[in-house]
Amino acid sequence: MKIDCDIIRDLLPLYVEGLVSEKSRAAIEEHLTECGECGKVCREMTEPEPQLSYNREPAESFRNYVKKGKRKLRIKTAAITACIVLVVVLIRLVMVGGLVAFLALDSEKAEIFEDMDVSHYGRYMGGDAEEEYRNKWGMKEEIFPREITEEMQVKDYKMVYYNPWDAQYLSYLAVEYDEGAYEEEVKRLKNYASTEYLGYYGAEGFAEGYSPLAVEADPYYGFVYALETRERQIVYVELIFCNYFFDLDYREMIPTEYLPVGFDANKDNAYRKQMLKRK
C-alpha cells in the first residue's frame, strides 16, 4: 500500500530518533527507497547541522520535544545513579562502623553553651526569648518565673544549650523570696496542672527536703519542674531533650539534689530501650 508523503514526513522525526515500531520503520524505509524528495528530507534531518528544506512545524516541534525529553532523561539517570552510589557508600560505612564514627566526630564539633549570668535570663525563657530558645520542643515553661524581680534573691543559676543534631536544654534557677512573694509563688505553683512523672526515665521522686510544687513531664522530651527546698527558697529546673536521652554529660552540669531520684537520661538508659522496643 502506497503511503502519502505527508504522512511519511510527519513520521520522519520519530523514525530518525528510533522511536517507531518495526512495521512503521519498514514501511518508511520502503517509501524512502522509492521517493527521492522524502529521502532528501530524511538525510537532512540526520546531518550534524541540518539545513532542512522541509519545515513542517508540527514535525519540527516534535523533534525538538524528543531531544529535550532525552536530555532530561540523561540528567535524571545521572541523578539516580549518584544517589545509588551514595546509598551504597553509606551502607558500607555503617557495616564497618565508619558512619557512626563520622556522626560522633560531627557531634563533637558542636559546642556546649553555658551561661550563669542571671541578667541574661530573659534571653532564654518565655515568649520573648531569642529564637533558638523560644520553642523548646513544645515544652511548657510556665513553671519558671516570667522574669527576675526585686522580690527574688537568686542564689544559683545556669542555662545550658547544646545542639549537635537536635537541640537540648538544661536550666536551673534557685531563688529565695521574701515572705509575701514566697507565699504567692507557692500558691501559683500549686495551682499549676501538674502532669505525671513517676517512672519517666526511672524517676522515683525527689531527694529528701526537695518537695515538688509543680511538674510538667513528657515521656519523650523530659521535665520542667519547681521544688520547694529550704524556707522561702524554690528551685526551678528544666531538662529538655529528645530521642529519649541527653547527648551531654548532664550530671556534671547540675547539682545532683536538683534531679529526680533515679533519673537516667544517658544514651543507654533503660527507659529509652523500653520505649524503642514498643515502636
State yes or no: pLDDT of 190 exceeds 90.
Answer: yes
How far is 276 from 279, CA to CA, in rounded Å? 5
For residue 65, what pLDDT is reported? 47
Q: What count of Cα atoms within 13 Å lies in the side-chain half-sphere of residue 225?
A: 25
For residue 189, what pLDDT is reported? 97
Q: In terms of pLDDT, which residue wins out, 77 or 141?
A: 141
C-alpha to C-alpha distances, 98 to 83, 103, 165, 257, 267, nearest whole angstrom:
19, 9, 18, 39, 19
Average pLDDT over residues 125-143: 89
Please answer whether residues 116 and 157 qualify as being in contact, where contact means their C-beta atoms are separated by less than 8 angstroms.
Answer: yes
% residues pLDDT > 70 (the chain): 78
pLDDT tier, 15 (very low <50, low <70, confident <90, very high otherwise): confident
Span of 18-32, 95-109, 111-125, 181-195 with lowest mean pLDDT: 95-109
pLDDT tier, 136 (very low <50, low <70, confident <90, very high otherwise): very high
* Model confidence pLDDT, tens digit, residues 80-117: 766 676 766 566 655 545 544 444 444 455 789 999 99
pLDDT tier, 49 (very low <50, low <70, confident <90, very high otherwise): low
Q: Which residues pair with 227 in a beta bridge?
A: 212, 235
Task: Give the length of the chain.
Answer: 279
Please answer whether residues 64 and 35 qualify as being in contact, where contact means their C-beta atoms are separated by less than 8 angstroms.
Answer: no
State yes or no: pLDDT of 206 exceeds 90.
Answer: yes
pLDDT tier, 1 (very low <50, low <70, confident <90, very high otherwise): low
For residue 99, what pLDDT is reported? 44
* Model confidence pLDDT, tens digit, residues 225-274: 999 998 899 999 999 999 999 988 999 999 999 999 999 999 999 999 99
For residue 6, what pLDDT is reported? 87
pTM, two decimals, is: 0.63
3-state secondary structure the chain: CCCCHHHHHHHHHHHHCCCCCHHHHHHHHHHHHHCHHHHHHHHHHHCCCCCCCCCCHHHHHHHHHHHHHHHHHHHHHHHHHHHHHHHHHHHHHHHCCHHHHHHHHHHHHCCCEEECCHHHHHHHCCCCCCHHHHCCCCCCCCCCCCCCCCCEEEEEEEEEEECCCCCEEEEEEEEEECHHHHHHHHHHHHCCCCCCCCCHHHCCCCCCCCEEEEEEEECCCEEEEEEECCCCEEEEEEEECECCECCCCHHHCCCHHHCCCCCCCCCCCHHHHHHHHHC
State yes or no: pLDDT of 67 exceeds 70.
Answer: no
Average pLDDT over residues 204-224: 95
What is the dihedral sign for C-alpha 9, 14, 17, 22?
A: negative
For residue 105, what pLDDT is reported? 47
- Retrieve residue 180's grid coordinates: 509575701
How far is 182 from 168, CA to CA, in rounded Å? 30
| Count of C-beta atoms within a 10 Å radius of residue 203 | 21
Span of 107-111, 117-121, 131-135, 275-279 with lowest mean pLDDT: 107-111
